[in-house]
Amino acid sequence: MNFLSTFVTFENLHEVRRLCHWGPVIALSVIAICSTMAILDSIIWYWPLDTTGGSINFIMLINWTVLILYNYFNAMFVGPGYIPLGWKPENHQDAQYLQYCRVCQGYKAPRSHHCRKCNRCVMKMDHHCPWINNCCGHLNHAYFTSFLLLAPLGCSHAAIIFIMTMYTQLYERISFGWSTVKIDMSAVRQFQPLMPFSVPAFAATLFALGLALGTTIAVGMLFFIQMKVILRNKTSIESWIEEKAKDRIQHYQTGEEFIFPYDLGTRWLNFKQVFTWSGTPKGDGIEWPVHPKCHQHTLTIEQLKQKADKRVRSVQYRAVEDYNGACCPLSKGLQTFFRTPCTEEPRIPLSKGDTILATRGTKWWMYGDKVLSEEQMRAGERVRGWFPRRCVEKCHYDTAASDSTSEKKKD
């Protein structure tokens, strides 16, 4: 058990449940298919026991699989690190610069955000990744990014093996019932395969090649996106906060100068904040090194300004149709069905008369917070998500005044 714990750290046995999700199931299936087919095809194409090149090729293939799984499981099970429940800053005066999380019953430390999926405030949260069924944050950012690098490299190596295997085996015989393809490949193929390469094997190799190429492109793009924010010592959420800060300053013409506080000036210093030889990132996840012109709460103060501006800009709507919270509701029209937001953000069910404060939207969908009762707000409940635009109408009157008028009529 001690040997296993050096590779994967389980916070508790319940963490194993993270495997029971469509994201890890698909990701591990792709890894298993590509690795298994690459091993079998490497035996057919380049038998590892006869030549040094074959041995190196086979060892590298096994090495890719081990490293990919090592970083994948660490990213999943080590986790991002969570802010302790009920956390408060040591200096009580700093609480005025922080947002309060009603769910965790504590303040959000700098760079932390509450994840609806994990139901906790996450240290230096970048995003919630469905492929590892966990958040990417402070403690597992390096493991996650390493996985994004190793997966395309391993799949590229596997794709070369798939291509060379099919290329060299075509000269033998691939019969499709009406003709036989024979190509002289003696210059390329040097070793007699010990395993048969039939039509089903060819189809399986072709399928694995498609998976490998698709993974290389998709995951490779994610790696470049992650490295772009890491080299600036940001997260994906913080990049969005910085953009909104610039828009807010430009909109209100405040003349402020927003400096991102966590950029240390050079890419190398920013890189070392995430990647270390020990595998454990620098810092405790609560306090961070900052730019000389900034302080620990520069970003949190900006978040509070944006939150206040968001409340000012929010528009009140009232539900005129019931909505059950379906992701793609066909009953709400074809455009609503086909134009559903491509995001994992939740949908909120609506009943006639519900009040919603909308903050953003598209032509067919809107996003906002449902107005809850005082008891629900005290309990820390928050209902926020997408809903069809056709289910609501804009309120052109004061809700409180309307309610008081209706009560007088009843009296």
The residues carrying an active-site annotation are: 129
Packed helices 52-77 and 22-45: angle between N→C axes, nearest 10 degrees: 170
Q: Tokens 């005025």 label which residue?
A: 96
Structural tokens at position 268:
């190398």
CA distance linking residue 391 with residue 407, whole number of Å: 26
User: How many CB atoms neighbour CB 190 within 10 A?
Assistant: 13
Q: What is the 3-state secondary structure (H, E, C) of 204-253?
A: HHHHHHHHHHHHHHHHHHHHHHHHHHHCCCCCHHHHHHHHHHHHHHHHHC
CA distance linking residue 152 with residue 160, whole number of Å: 12
CA distance linking residue 117 with residue 389, whole number of Å: 25
Packed helices 22-45 and 199-230: angle between N→C axes, nearest 10 degrees: 120
